[in-house]
């Protein structure tokens, strides 16, 4: 039974994004609160130091003004309090409960003794549902994702909101609008900087290119000064090239400028955006379901799976769709570790040993051939070559 001992570390390898997404959301709530506090308190501080100066030259007439200023400060602080508690109610508490529920889900697996227990089976079922939702979301099937999540009651364990955001922003990029993506960049400015991600520059450059395409050269120059120059430490060459772009019409055949005008850049932006958002949430670029399946497929994949002559209906890798997924994984090292009978789909081993036709050498399991012989008066026929012989003429094959 020791082989069924749960490999908790292996399970957790998949779960980093599961904990990370709500954590990043909570950080955003925290940052927004912090910004509000800084803004309002610095205003209050400015007013109060202004008041302190004023009271020095006290002439009585400024008492009214001072009262007004103090009232203003009180209003500010009250507004701040209201704003913070709204933010906490609308985003802070929900995110906290998502985090708590997810960590509890992960913690549950630590107490499970082995993979054979019903507790683990239930846990793994939930995990599979989560992965199915992830798969649906990544493939733009949001309705399906929502339905699964709702039916299984796992709304807090899946990232539907994140993918709704992705959808909305990518749709905008599809309409050639950078506004939504730029707003996302500004929300995640510090994280993007941490990852040295330059999506924001690419978006700015694209808006600039669109101005150049519309031949709005003055606007383009103003835009470049405002948004591109800030990147000169890292993107000077690109900024120079962008400046020169204004001398070329969108119909230019000059290589580098033709490339800047290329509408395919929009598709690249969409791709860069998706990579950036995955990166920030530590989400893998491929569905979790695929990653989990790669591991299993790698242990089953044989060269025979890709030969139409030797495909087996009971082998998952031989299945065309799973086989395509398995193209990425290496072949199983134990090429001969399991031999599956093509007649019965059962594994051939010492108990159900393989038997070979004497001429063609085609191999099937003893059980399947015995069945066939019983139905055909002791005669067996190879379904592939049509070779016929008596059951007793079959050769034994020994697995080494």
Q: Of the candidates 169, 95, 164, which has an alpha carbon nearest to the alpha carbon of residue 133?
A: 164
Q: Output the six-digit token pair for 181.
A: 């993506």
- Least distance in Å: CB of 207 to Zn ion? 51
Q: For residue 197, which phi and psi values (nearest 5 degrees)?
A: -85, 135
- Identity of the residue, 300 or 355, whose beta carbon is nearer to Zn ion in the bound complex: 300
- Identity of the residue, 60 or 320, whose beta carbon is nearer to Zn ion in the bound complex: 320
- Identity of the residue, 308 or 350, whose beta carbon is nearer to Zn ion in the bound complex: 308
- Least distance in Å: CB of 328 to Zn ion? 15
Question: Interface with Zn ion includes 133 (CB under 5 A)?
Answer: no
DSSP letter string, 125-150: HHHHHHHHHHHHHHTT-HHHHHHHHH
What stretch of H or E contains 289? helix 288-300
- Least distance in Å: CB of 300 to Zn ion? 7
Alpha carbons within 13 A on the beta-carbon side of 217: 8
- Identity of the residue, 304 or 373, whose beta carbon is nearer to Zn ion in the bound complex: 304
Q: Which residue in the set 192, 318, 339, 380 belongs to the binding site for Zn ion (CB under 5 A)?
A: 318
Task: Give the contact letters, 146-185, x = binds to Zn ion (CB under 5 A), - = no.
Answer: ----------------------------------------
What's the length of the chain? 400
Task: Give the contact letters, 240-259, x = binds to Zn ion (CB under 5 A), - = no.
Answer: --------------------
- Identity of the residue, 51 or 304, whose beta carbon is nearer to Zn ion in the bound complex: 304
- Least distance in Å: CB of 331 to Zn ion? 11
Q: Of the candidates 161, 129, 169, 126, which has an alpha carbon nearest to the alpha carbon of residue 142?
A: 161
- Identity of the residue, 270 or 332, whose beta carbon is nearer to Zn ion in the bound complex: 332
Angstrom distance (rounded) from CA 389 to CA 386: 10
- 3-state secondary structure (DSSP) of residue 349: coil
- Least distance in Å: CB of 269 to Zn ion? 40
Question: Interface with Zn ion includes 341 (CB under 5 A)?
Answer: no
Binding-site size, Zn ion (CB under 5 A)? 4
Task: Give the contact letters, 281-310, x = binds to Zn ion (CB under 5 A), - = no.
Answer: ------------------------x-----
- Identity of the residue, 38 or 349, whose beta carbon is nearer to Zn ion in the bound complex: 349
Q: Which residue in the set 29, 269, 315, 382 belongs to the binding site for Zn ion (CB under 5 A)?
A: 315
Angstrom distance (rounded) from CA 22 to CA 6: 26
- Identity of the residue, 11 or 318, whose beta carbon is nearer to Zn ion in the bound complex: 318
Question: Interface with Zn ion includes 317 (CB under 5 A)?
Answer: yes
Please, are residues 124 and 4 in contact by the beta-carbon 8 Å criterion?
no
- Least distance in Å: CB of 342 to Zn ion? 10
What stretch of H or E contains 323? helix 320-326
- Give the interface segment with Zn ion, choosing from 80-88, 111-119, 212-220, 315-323 (CB under 5 A): 315-323
- 3-state secondary structure (DSSP) of residue 279: helix
190-198 contact pairs (CB < 8 A, 24+) = 190/31, 191/24, 191/280, 192/276, 192/280, 195/276, 195/279, 195/280, 197/276, 197/279, 198/231, 198/234, 198/235
DSSP letter for 309, please.
T
- Least distance in Å: CB of 364 to Zn ion? 16
- Identity of the residue, 136 or 317, whose beta carbon is nearer to Zn ion in the bound complex: 317
- Least distance in Å: CB of 343 to Zn ion? 15
- Give the interface segment with Zn ion, choosing from 162-170, 185-193, 240-248, 313-321 (CB under 5 A): 313-321
- Least distance in Å: CB of 302 to Zn ion? 6
- Least distance in Å: CB of 377 to Zn ion? 33
Angstrom distance (rounded) from CA 167 to CA 277: 12
Provide the 10 A C-beta neighbour count for residue 13: 10
Angstrom distance (rounded) from CA 278 to CA 290: 16
Interacting residues with Zn ion (CB under 5 A): 305, 315, 317-318
């Amino acid at each position: 039974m020791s082989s069924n001992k749960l490999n908790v570390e292996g399970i957790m390898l998949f779960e980093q994004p599961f904990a990370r997404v709500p954590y990043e959301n909570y950080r955003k709530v925290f940052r927004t609160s912090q910004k509000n506090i800084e803004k309002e308190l610095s205003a209050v501080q400015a007013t109060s130091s202004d008041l302190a100066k004023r009271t020095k030259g006290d002439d009585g007439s400024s008492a009214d003004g001072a009262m007004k200023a103090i009232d203003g400060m009180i209003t500010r602080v009250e507004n701040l309090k209201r704003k913070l508690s709204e933010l906490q109610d609308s985003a802070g508490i929900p995110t906290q409960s998502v985090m708590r529920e997810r960590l509890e889900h992960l913690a549950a697996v630590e107490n499970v003794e082995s993979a054979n227990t019903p507790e683990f089976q239930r846990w793994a079922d939930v995990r599979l549902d989560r992965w199915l939702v992830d798969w649906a979301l990544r493939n733009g099937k949001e309705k399906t994702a929502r339905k699964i999540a709702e039916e299984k009651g796992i709304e807090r364990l899946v990232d539907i909101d994140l993918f709704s955001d992705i959808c909305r922003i990518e749709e905008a990029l599809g309409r050639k609008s950078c506004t939504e993506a730029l707003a996302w960049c500004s929300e995640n400015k510090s994280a993007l900087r941490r990852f040295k991600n330059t999506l924001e520059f690419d978006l700015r450059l694209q808006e600039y290119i669109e101005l150049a395409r519309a031949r709005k050269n003055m606007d383009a120059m103003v835009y470049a000064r405002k948004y591109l120059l800030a990147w000169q430490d890292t993107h000077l060459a690109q900024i120079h090239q962008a400046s020169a772009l204004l001398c070329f019409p969108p119909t230019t055949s000059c290589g580098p400028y033709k490339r800047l005008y290329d509408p395919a850049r929009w598709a690249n932006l969409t791709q860069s955006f998706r990579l950036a958002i995955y990166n920030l949430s530590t989400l893998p670029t491929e569905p979790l379901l695929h990653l989990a399946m790669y591991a299993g497929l790698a242990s089953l994949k044989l060269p025979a799976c890709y030969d139409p002559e030797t495909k087996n209906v009971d082998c998952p890798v031989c299945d065309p769709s799973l086989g395509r997924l398995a193209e990425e994984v290496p072949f199983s090292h134990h090429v001969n570790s399991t031999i599956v009978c093509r007649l019965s789909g059962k594994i051939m081993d010492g108990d159900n040993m393989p038997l070979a036709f004497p001429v063609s050498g085609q191999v099937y399991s003893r059980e399947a051939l015995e069945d066939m012989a019983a139905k055909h008066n002791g005669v067996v026929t190879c379904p592939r070559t049509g070779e016929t012989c008596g059951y007793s003429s079959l050769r034994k094959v020994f697995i080494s």
